[in-house]
Amino acid sequence: MQVFALTGGIATGKSTAGKMISRLMPTSVFFDCDESVKSLLQKQEVLDEISDALGQSVIKTDGSLDRAALRKLVFDNEILRGKLEIILHPKVRKECLEKLDFYSKTNPTTLFVADVPLLFESGFDFGQELNLVVATSQATQRIRLKARNHFEDRMISLILKAQLPIMEKVARADVVFWNEGSLSILERQLARFLKSLSIS
């Protein structure tokens, strides 16, 4: 089984690429760190850790997480963002490693891909052989974030500032998929890459 990391910047198309890989290679397994975080944020013990570290302002009166308040807090304050990452990142990495271990013993899994948004920023190493990057221009990231998430320009700038510049990620990548065009163009790039693997 080959093991790859998939990353990029926010709104560059990482999750879309991951779904395409799963469809193009049915014997692959895809681990999504964002989905892992969403699941963790449903757990009371994790919410308790977050409120202890960041304060009750991120918890709604019904006890659930106030995502908008959390987003504003952590992207406005690098120290608080670091506290949140200390809570979440080890838990996500543990789940990733557990899934990797499980599928490494499961036939006929031939490829394990983990979508790790902060792969380079957090040093998220899980024994991957290649780092794949899905990239666009920053202008495209901004357009997509505004259209998809309806974020204000200031929030978009704060989010982008919290990540390595996309071209720095491109420089660190083993393989780059450029996602400025249509989805069919991205899919053709992925299909060509998967075909080149000895496992395909």
Task: Supply the pLDDT for residue 39.
Answer: 97
In three state form, how does the secondary structure of 33-78 look? HHHHHHHHCCCHHHHHHHHHHHCHHHECCCCCECHHHHHHHHHHCH
Distance CA 185, CA 178 (A): 9
Task: Supply the pLDDT for residue 200.
Answer: 43
Please give the chain's pLDDT, 200 residues, in tens.
Answer: 999 999 999 999 999 999 999 999 999 999 999 999 999 999 999 999 999 999 999 999 999 999 999 999 999 999 999 999 999 999 999 999 999 999 999 878 999 999 999 999 998 889 999 999 999 999 999 999 999 999 999 999 999 999 999 999 999 999 999 999 999 999 999 999 999 996 54
40 touches 198 (CB < 8 A): no
For the entire predicted model, the pTM comes to 0.91
For the chain, what are the domain ranges? 2-196
Beta-bridge partner residues of 4? 113, 130
- The architecture of the domain spanning 2-196 is 3-Layer(aba) Sandwich (3.40)
* Other CB atoms within 10 Å distance of the CB of residue 29: 21
Task: Supply the pLDDT for residue 198.
Answer: 65
Q: In 3-state terms, what secondary structure has residue 102?
A: helix
Q: End-to-end alpha-carbon separation of the chain, Å?
A: 11
Beta-bridge partner residues of 7? 133
Instruction: Quickly count helices (H) and strands (E) in the chain.
Output: 10, 5
